[in-house]
Structures are given as structure tokens and as C-alpha cells.
Structure 1
Amino acid sequence: MGEYNLSIADGIISINEAKRLLRETTEIQQVLLEMKLHLEDESST
């Protein structure tokens, strides 16, 4: 989170920062989806 605050401190997000933030967001979404599917699987058994 500290890196995020530093990257937007100047009010400008560079291409590399945008790519990193997008990659991290995608990874978080994947983890959440896997958790959701796991919980749904547990609740159906």
C-alpha cells in the first residue's frame, strides 16, 4: 500500500505504475474468485 501512496503522491500515474496496479488488482480478483468458489463448494456439501 505504501508503494501505491508514493505512486500517486505527485498526482500522476505512470504507464509502469498503471500496469503494476492493474496486475495487482487482477491478482486480487483471482484470489477472491477462488475463495468464493471454495466457499460455495464447501457450503454445497
Structure 2
Amino acid sequence: MPKIISANLNGIRSAHKKGFFNWMHAQTADFICVQELKAQLPDMT
């Protein structure tokens, strides 16, 4: 059975400051879905 993680980030910068991406890389999920990124183009590069 696939493992799916869904996370409401409430902003990509806030998620980064709180360590979300370090946590995400440690997971063994098949799918990771994120909502409410609220990212501007400079935040995505």
C-alpha cells in the first residue's frame, strides 16, 4: 500500500524555517502533497 503525506505549509519560507524540508527528506513516502505554498518566483529558485 502506498504511503501518502499531505501537508499544509502556510508559506514555503515558514516551512523552510521550521525544518519541513529536512523532515520531508527523512520520510519514506511514495507521494508528498503540499498545499498553501504561497511562493513567489524568487522563492522557487
TM-score by length of 2: 0.31
Higher relative contact order (CA 8 A, sep 6+): 2
More strand by share: 2
TM-score by length of 1: 0.31
More helix by share: 1
Which structure would you say has the larger Rg?
1
